[in-house]
Every structure is written in structure tokens, then in C-alpha cells.
Structure 1
């Protein structure tokens, strides 16, 4: 514990991100990178995932570092690649099986934890509701974005979205069953898949998310220019490393 405390005091979070979008001033965001924590390799250094094999005390220290930048502890979820959405204000210390959360109360922090999957942040023009969704390909295909939008109870035309760090189409290779699953839901998804020599496909998860948002009537979509696999110095990547940490994309309403 002494080593962790000493390391924590020397760390910086200057490499963390915020959403680049024209959100109302009371909408706040924070997107962690792999920098600024205390975990040892292969979780180095700001691993926020308690389920990936990292030392529990290191994860606790990393979450404490993050907490210093937030109005409250994040409403962590036990993400299961599904479509369930919960009210972050009602969670307390629970971590329910869900892949998205929303908040209307100020100071309640929604969180999506990722390491290649797509984090989607949402807010409305009035700054009255925010949401965060964890969209791996299964959840994206099954409708987690649609579920998160519905949970906000906002008119889609009043919503904007920001797509956070995820695997890019240069690195996201999938089998034909993934393509078929998306095409079954929407034939327009074919534009997101490029066939390669081994019978598999490179898929643009950012485009798939934009398509889903567009069909809902959400035209203002920002972000989507990252690659967690290629940018190894900045991001954790399960596809690249297998055993690795988790980042968080967070959104809340300021008091």
C-alpha cells in the first residue's frame, strides 16, 4: 500500500480527454486513458476494471484518483454486452447487469467502461439529461444505443452524441456472422463492412453507430476518430493485448 500511495502522488492525468462537442456548459465529460494510475503491467497504469485480474488495491487506488476529478463516484455497471439501461441516480453502491445508464439529477456520473468497445455519450440541448452506453458489436447490433436514447425521454432532434475511443476499421476484423447479424437488422449496415482475403471483414463500428443514431433522428454526432488498437501508448485494447485494463468514458450534469 505504501508503494501505491507514493506512485499515486506522482501521477498526472494530463493525457485524459474530454468530449469535443457543442454541449451545454453544465454537461461535463471525462474520458480516461491508460495514463495516470498505479497498476503494474499489463494493466499499466490507470486500469479501472475490477474484473480483469488486476490487484484489487491498485484498482481501488486508480478509482480514487479518478474520483478526485468527479462530483461523485461513478455509477459503475457490470457490463454484459446487452441492452439494459438503468437510472444512475438509483444505483448507490450496486453495479447491476446493464450496458447503459442515464442521469437527470446534477452530480450523478454515468460511466461506460471499455477497451475496444465503443463508448457513446449523449446529452440534450437543454442540459437536462445525459447518458452513457457501452456498445460492443453485440450490444450495438441488438440496440443498446436505441435503448439509451429511449431512456432519456428526450426528442431525438434535441440530442447530440459523442463517440469515444474504440477499435477502428483498420483493426476490427470480424467473421461473416457479425456482418449477417447487422444486415439482418439493417441492410444499410453493409456500407460498414469491407471484405478481406481470408473471408472475413473489416468493420467500422463508428459508422454503424452513426447509422443507428441517424435512424433515430440524431444528426449531430461527434468524435469517432480514435483507434484503441493502434494507439497502444494511450489506450487499453483487449483485441491487441488480451490481458489488459479498462478505461472509462464519463458524463454528468454540473450543479
Structure 2
């Protein structure tokens, strides 16, 4: 199976993948060089943020190459066979980065060890289950299978939201001024960006294998990735700096 893009569609997907790649690389460098701007206790959160965007950059490089190599002119091979455009790179990326994104939030808040461990032990398995359950539906051409795995992957997603908004919310009262509000915005950013993924997933179920659906899904996934990883990571840096200054670090750092 293949989809035939016009020149504008092909160039748009090409440019969006390039944008995703360079955004991840730029954020990796920025968060790495910003280590000295926060106290040592918050640097692990920045390291994890750098790991998230570095892993994503690698997979966008693979996605970018897969797209160009699976294209003959403006025709993109999406059959799932060897040499076709490989959507699995995204799921490998998400399987690694989504748990790290959640651990970033816990790390930057510097919660008590027992509380942090409890949250991590619940969030990481739920995040892995969410991604693992979504993949069989993504690659299936059977609508019933797609719906089944879409519903199954939604269950751990809802659990993650519960932990972030109810369980984590209990720990925000003791945070410095402004941190709780910033974390609140961070959680809303997570919902807004993660909400793009199920929309694209549903689009795959109800839509046909057309050029417009292929372009919409790839552009949507990439924009969501940039927001969920780069903007998320920059917000983590902001929280780390706020907490560092509240604990005595000079404001000029």
C-alpha cells in the first residue's frame, strides 16, 4: 500500500520532520548547558530532560530517513513491509521518553524520597503500558483491533492523569511561591499535547489511507512531540530555577 502526495504535501512532511529533529537537538544542548543555573539537587531533572530530547532527536533522524527512503518521487510506501515508512520509531521513542517525562516532574519537585518513589512506581509502569497497548492498534488494519487497543491504552492514560492531578497535587502545597501554578500549567500542557495522540489515532481508524490523512497524522504527531518534549523540558528548567532561587541561589545565575 502506498500514498501519493503532491509536492506541497511531501515538502511539508519533509520540513516538519526536519523541524522536529532540530528542535530536539537544540533543546538537548540548551538544557545541558543550563546545568549550572540551578542547584545540584535539581540537575537530575535537567539531565532527564536532555535525555528525552536526545532520544527523540535520534528517532526523528530515523523517521526522517525512513520517510525519504520509502519515497519514490511523491509516492510513499506505507505498507508496513521492509523498506516502507516505519511508524514503529515513534513508539520506541515514546516507550522510552514518556516515562522519563513523568519522572522529570517528580525529580524537579524534590519530594520526600518515599513520596517520590511511590509516584514513580505508579507512573512509569502506567506510561509503559499506555504506549505498549497503543502500538498493536496503530499497526493493525482491522478496525475492531484498533478500537480495542485504543480503549485499552486509554485506561493507563486516565490513571496517569489521576496520579498527576490528585496524588501529585497533594504535594504542591509545600512548594515555593509560583511553583504550584507552574506545575499546574505543566500538567495542562501535558494533557493538551498528549490529547493530540489519541486524536491522530482515531483519525487513523475512521479515515482512509489517503495522502491528507498521512500528512495530518505526521504533522500532528510531530507538533505534539515538540510541545510535549521541548516546551515541557523548558518548563522543567523554569521550575528548577524558581526553586533554586527560592532556596538562596543568586538570581544572576
TM-score tier (shorter):
under 0.3
Q: TM-score, normalising length from structure 1? A: 0.23
Higher fraction of strand:
1
Higher fraction of helix:
2
Q: TM-score, normalising length from structure 2? A: 0.24
Q: Which has the larger radius of gyration?
A: 2
